[in-house]
Amino acid sequence: MENTIKKHIVLKILLALLPALIFWQNYAWMTLNSYLGIAFLIIWALMIWSVYQFTEKNHIIERFFRLTEISFFLLPLSAIVFSFVLGSKAVSSTTNGFEQAGAALGTAIGGTFVVVLSFIIGLAGGVIMHLITNKYEKKAESSGIKQVETLSNKHGIILSLVAIILLAIIMGSVSSAQHSANVAKEKEELSNSLQQGGTNQANTANTEQTKTETKKVTLEITKKGFNAADYMSGSYQDQITMSLKFTNTTDKEIRGVEGAITFYDIFDNKISATKVSYDKSIPANGSKVWESGTDYNQFMDEDIKLKNTELKDLKYKWEVSTIIYADGSKETF
């Protein structure tokens, strides 16, 4: 028997690639491509183990084709799991209701496409492999060779399937835990980098000192309000108003600065972002206050949230993109 096992060992190793590849695709969908390299080697080894004690060629081929048949029929279920997991991760990575709705819609559309495609491929592949498998099953029975009843021979199919599903659950859980840890870390880093609106004078001074070390032009929101449209005065659009204090921390006069402010709520969830272009002079080591306004749309969730969030609860991040100095020099970041 040992010689017969060695005789077919190459066939077992090579033919095991067929079900291993399809099961590997199932695993990849279930876990969003977590640890694919090691997972493929484990799945391939499982396929080889399930037929390792077989001594007759038709039995070997029948077992591998049966495993391939099951792996094809499993594809639609794996695609459904893929859509659910991808949607959950996409939504958990967003920072506001608008982005969450977009992520949910996008993954729903993409997930539906993957499920439909996998259903067609899985059904067609499964039926074809079922017909081929039955053919080799009859050949194996007609050969008259009885296989030794070992654990792998008798229960190799069900044990391999259970092992792959458990592998996907374990690896998927590890990946999910890492993703959650990364999201929490990113939120913590973001929270540490945000400036809080409505801080007291001492806190503002400390914040300004920290920002001076890292930015050449700092920004502070000193006041926030709202102006309703006044057609008599020529104002036809509601506006969210803010007093923006620019501080030049360099020894050169600035002619203009451009950047972006990203607003966050008290929970560090992103509200919106807006581009800022200030084309007035800012003296060296001095400050200028700009009374600015941004249009308000009552049908936009971001605008509503920004309007309703009080300055003391509003957090923001200021990022400079361009500085133009009075001497004509320019810096971009």
Quick count: other Cβ atoms within 10 Å of Cβ 250?
Answer: 15
Checking if the pLDDT of 180 tops 80, the result is no
Checking if the pLDDT of 114 tops 80, the result is yes
Question: pLDDT tens-digit profile of 292-303?
Answer: 888 888 878 888
Backbone Cα Rg of the chain? 32
Give the number of C-alpha atoms closer than 13 A to the C-alpha of residue 232, restricted to the C-beta side.
0
- Token couple for 26: 């199932």
Question: Is 59 within 8 Å of 147 (Cβ atoms)?
Answer: yes
Residue percentage of the chain with pLDDT more than 90: 44
Helical (H) or strand (E) element with 282 = none
pLDDT score for 205: 39
Checking if the pLDDT of 61 tops 60, the result is yes
Checking if the pLDDT of 11 tops 60, the result is yes
Question: Is 227 within 8 Å of 260 (Cβ atoms)?
Answer: no
| Nearest of 121, 101, 99, 97 to residue 109 by alpha carbon | 101
Question: pLDDT tens-digit profile of 225-277?
Answer: 888 876 565 566 788 999 999 999 999 999 999 999 999 988 888 888 889 99
Question: Is 90 within 8 Å of 108 (Cβ atoms)?
Answer: no
Checking if the pLDDT of 51 tops 80, the result is yes
Domains (ranges, CATH) in the chain? 2-191 (no CATH), 196-332 (2.60.40)
- Token couple for 199: 């801080």
Burial class (CB within 10 angstroms; exposed 0-12, middle 13-18, buried 19+) of 158: exposed
What is the secondary structure of 201-218 as a DSSP string? HHHHHHHHHHHHHH-SEE
Residue percentage of the chain with pLDDT more than 70: 80
With cut-offs at 50, 70 and 90, classify the pLDDT of residue 105: low
Question: Is 226 within 8 Å of 239 (Cβ atoms)?
Answer: yes
pLDDT score for 100: 57
Question: Is 237 within 8 Å of 257 (Cβ atoms)?
Answer: no
Compute, in degrees rounded to 10, the torsion defined by CA atoms 13, 63, 39, 180.
Answer: 170
pLDDT score for 186: 66
Q: Give dist(CA 246, CA 260) in Å, integer.
A: 13
Quick count: other Cβ atoms within 10 Å of Cβ 155?
Answer: 13
Q: Which residue has the higher pLDDT, 215 or 320?
A: 320
With cut-offs at 50, 70 and 90, classify the pLDDT of residue 207: very low
Q: Give dist(CA 134, CA 278) in Å, integer.
A: 76
Question: pLDDT tens-digit profile of 149-164?
Answer: 788 888 889 999 999 9
Checking if the pLDDT of 209 tops 90, the result is no
| Nearest of 165, 61, 76, 68 to residue 125 by alpha carbon | 68
Q: What is the mean pLDDT of the chain?
A: 83
Sign of CA dihedral 192, 194, 200, 205: positive
pLDDT score for 120: 95
Q: Give dist(CA 289, CA 221) in Å, integer.
A: 9
Q: Spell 40-77 as b/e; 16+ CB within 10 A means b.
A: bebbbebbbbbbbbbbbbbbbbbbbbbbbbbbbbbbbb
